[in-house]
Amino acid sequence: MPHRPNRRRALPAAVCCALLLAFGAACSGGGDEEPALDPSSSPTRRTVDPSPPPSGEERTLRLAQGAQDRSSDLELSLSRVTDGEARLTVSAGPDIDEPQTLTGSEGDALELENGYTITLDKVEDPPEDHEGVGNAGSVTLTVTPPE
């Protein structure tokens, strides 16, 4: 008697193989291409670059009262803003062994002993009703490294 393949078993096996191949291709993404990003969408999480800005470059930044940031090679924080006067602390940087406190008004250029200059471009007083509100005052400043 000649042997006839069982078509009932062969058909489901072929369908299963085809489905597995299609599923595998869909999961692999079809290659090394990155998915296209929608430029109109906004990120759901804020990203932070942990690397400090390049050394030796001039940088302008805005600090809110109580905030801390790194500019060029200096670590700066804004302690307070009162009557147009900002109080800054330089806590780390070249040739800074102990934190240095600086006070100045808008337009002042404050030179550190290590040759860095901090120019207070804009000083914003807290609003009159700032009691109990954090980050009420702010300063925009430019850090210039020594030449």
Amino acid present at 94: P
Strand-pair partners of 62 = 140
- The pLDDT confidence band at residue 48, using thresholds 50, 70 and 90, is very low
pTM of the complete model: 0.57
Residues 6+ apart with CB under 8 A from 144: 58, 72, 116, 117, 118, 119
**Residue 97 pLDDT:** 87
| Dihedral over Cα of 49, 53, 59, 63: its sign | positive
Average pLDDT on 55-82 reads: 84
The per-residue pLDDT for 134 is 52
Alpha helix stretches (DSSP H) within the chain: 7-28
Lookup result for tokens 């804004």 = 78
